[in-house]
Structure 1
């Protein structure tokens, strides 16, 4: 039996076909070839067209088939991973009503803060495990307030993965994990958060029926199957946000285990057995893929909005002919610590770990007689690593140990310079695993289809393919101290705005 995993990312949609027995990826493909556009109607806003996601998914699947390495009739289940927190609204005919307000859009921050103050710290910390902040429910409240005609026409509110599953199957479902990432779930009652819905006057009917994460979310429609060259009736058996899904792929399922990613955004993801959130709301607490009421598993997610997107920016500055591997080589030509050049990477909207403040991105200590392109390239990677260190320190404040971090050899972790800086700054070993988001989605499909008895069983075959151990780097540690001082200055200035 083969498993089809779909990873709906911000920059592209990637699919993988995985052998359920060997867990070997037999084919993978992505679309588009260049990074998908993010529309910015106003500063701090960010939108994408869900219909383009659907188009990209179809083209990626057909590209995968074109490899000729498997029989499409052997595909027995489909799993979906997706960029988290995005808001998709559809009408009764399942037509998209407006562009998706995606994860890095900051327009609803004020509404989320107002809800936090109105509902109270105690309620938000014990029931939502978070401040409503800039999450999906806040985005929906923004639409209700600012686009009442769109809100009135809406039949269903969905996350990006829910939308993709709906296009595949014609059915709308939600999950506890997905609802918790949108701030719709009350962990204390094990139901939808009636207090939050009531505060904003949101219609409960907009939320699709809650279905177990590892279960059937519909079956492939005949007309869709024909277009995608697949069998009709294949079940969609898994949906999860990209970070819980990545943790599944990296065998991060139990308390104390950590995963890290450094794609468009950067994330440190840990698992806890406690229903508790960060008192300052810097860490996001969501239901993990294996969460149950009887055996809580909470994913503690600390996000850095500007990681890969900062790397993309400096790549453009370096010249369009410069590839990412060449950019990594360029960065290696500068010494550790970048000869004092510092980069603050927070230039992609409000940062949750900075309590939703917007500092912007900055360079400091530029010496026109000393610093060149290699220093700029290295300072960006080190600046992102400094941001990860800042985040891991917040995790430690919340009694989350950092003994071993697991990651995929992907995105910024393809840079040996960045990976070593991450290990050195956090004084933690990094274990690397093969596979990516689409691979994790395929594993999830296998769990939901009953191929594997549990998430733990599905992860048993996962073994590390490499490891980086930390070294002592005085230049990096000194750089981090200086970087943190500059960050504190920017934070104090942002508070005055």
Structure 2
């Protein structure tokens, strides 16, 4: 058996599979975030360890036959440990944008983009640590290790400070083409290589489960823990998106368009992420929008309604209406790289009802994903097949809108979990058995959402209006 642990923003998922990758058991332990100020999003790392214990206990099965563990987790978080391995402060999460000024200053130095292949986004790890350096110097002076969230979980499990390439690529300190830390960029941050975790590939052994933690969790001591992957790279492993032309769209808290690439394809001017994949000698491009289901959940909260109820009565896909929603509730990454922009409705009218507002929110997120799709196409990245995952993929209306906007069929996996937790379990299996990419196969497809031919042009025209509106919203600070 193999155990996948997926550290998400709202919960930690444990997934147990057998040698044939049949799911034996799964369990989720909830997590909360703290937002003490506008743009701040934090979690206490110690809550992750409690959630891990609870999620594994929730599996409710004998774990004596587990052979390996794989890890997945939300990226970019700045987890700062002292020399005793104790967190110095709450972890600043991927959607924390307080370090916008620090990110802009770094990005103005051409070396950052040249080495990492990416814009220095406010949500990345390096500008957050720079914020600590400028605003909490006593804490900065005590930093012994800077770890990403899943790697802090690994440290608790194994005692080893290790990361892997896909997650490390989102720090702004990795030489993404060389798959190694950049000493020059670390020096600019006032850090040294000794304060960083060592690096392995996601399918390699990163350490072994310590005896004390094994006894606490009911697992065999000494089993290997794989390098694992950042949440989206691990999800790609779970969905078999490991060859050029394969891609997935994820409608979760954030929205992601992820495409495997045959080599390192840096395009920082597009605000696409160009990262290492979780397998050796593979890379990927990724467009990220910060508020996907977050936008729908926000509207549901305002209307005092359940999000699923809002979308369940929309019927067949309609041409986009006059009302436009800009889904920039907490800033945006691709393609705007703007931490300060905020969302808004435009062209509201007396006849704009709940259904019209719901459609506008779904369309706004769709247009934002179209921005990433167009950016990839302009850099030469070609997508042949597209799989949908995430909570938002339960809405046929939303998927129909995306398929129509991109003019591309969207595949829906058969019932099962093919996301980060399965990808982590697969990486754990690779590390424990020596298996390779051949086990990262796509899931069985239950059905395909086709574009609606008559609405392709109306969606394209609506996207153009949406793009024209960005400059107006940008100035509404």
TM-score tier by shorter-chain length is over 0.9
Which SS does the other structure have where 2:365 is aligned?
Answer: helix
Q: Which residue of 1 aligns with 2:29?
A: 31
Which region of structure 1 is more displaced relative to structure 2, 184-193 or 264-273?
184-193
Match of 1:362 in 2: 344
Give me the whole-angstrom Cα distance separating, in 1, the residues matched to 2:384 and 2:88. Answer: 46
The residue aligned with 2:392 is 412
Which residue pairs with 2:246 in the alignment? 257
Q: Is the 8 A contact 2:3 2:14 kept in 1?
A: yes
1:57 aligns with 2:56: no
Q: Could you list the runs of 5+ residues in structure 2 that have no partner in the other structure?
A: none
Query: What SS is found at the alignment partner of 1:39?
Result: coil
**Deviation of residue 234 (structure 1)?**
2.3
2:326 alignment partner in structure 1: 344
The equivalent of 2:370 in structure 1 is 389
Q: Distance in 2 between matches of 1:94 and 1:239?
A: 21
1:228 corresponds in structure 2 to: 217
Aligned counterpart in structure 1 of residue 419 of structure 2, from 430, 433, 436:
436
- Worse-matched range after superposition: 425-434 or 458-467: 458-467
Structure 1 length-normalised TM:
0.90
Aligned to 1:446: 429
The Cα shift of 1:352 comes to: 4.3
Equivalent residue, structure 2, for 1:130: 118
Instruction: Give the superposed CA RMSD.
Output: 2.0
Q: Is the deviation greater in 275-284 or in 71-80?
A: 275-284
What does the per-residue CA deviation read over 1:41-84, in whole Å, with 9 as the maximum and x for residues that have no partner? 3222211111112211211111112xx4xx31121111111001
Q: In 2, Cα distance between the equivalents of 1:356 and 1:341?
A: 23
Q: Answer yes or no: is 1:205 the counterpart of 2:194.
A: yes
Distance 2:47 2:405 in 1: 39
Q: Give the superposition deviation at 1:334.
A: 8.8
Q: Aligned pair count? A: 471
TM, length-normalised to structure 2: 0.93
What corresponds to 1:298 in structure 2? Answer: 283
Deviation at 1:247, TM superposition (A): 1.1
Structure 2 vs 1, CA of residues 125 and 227 (structure 1 numbering), >3 Å: closer, same or farther? same
Q: Which residue of 2 aligns with 1:460?
A: 441
* Cα offset, 1:97, TM superposition: 0.8
Distance 1:109 1:180 in 2: 19
SS at match of 1:280: helix
Rounded Cα–Cα distance in structure 2 between residues aligned with 1:152 and 1:283: 33
1:255: how far off?
2.0
Structure 1 contact 76–234 (Cα < 8 Å) conserved: yes
CA 225–188 in structure 1, closer or farther in 2 if over 3 Å, else same: closer
Distance 1:279 1:90 in 2: 31
Distance 1:138 1:417, change over 3 A: same
Structure 1: runs of 5 or more not aligned:
none
Could you tell me how far apart the structure 2 residues matched to 1:428 and 1:124 are? 35
Task: Check 1:223–1:251 CA distance in 2 against 1; reply closer, same or farther (3 A cut).
Answer: same
State the distance in 1 between where 2:244 and 2:442 align: 20
Match of 2:5 in 1: 6
Rounded to whole Å, the distance in 1 between the matches of 2:146 and 2:268 is: 29
Post-superposition Cα deviations, 1:142-189, rounded to whole Å, max 9, x if no partner, equal 212211111111211000010011111122112233322212212455
- Cα pair distance change 1:243/1:152, threshold 3 Å: same
Distance 2:102 2:183 in 1: 17
Correspondence for 2:382: 401
Secondary structure in structure 1 of the residue aligned to 2:375: helix
| Structure-1 separation of matches of 2:344 and 2:319 | 16
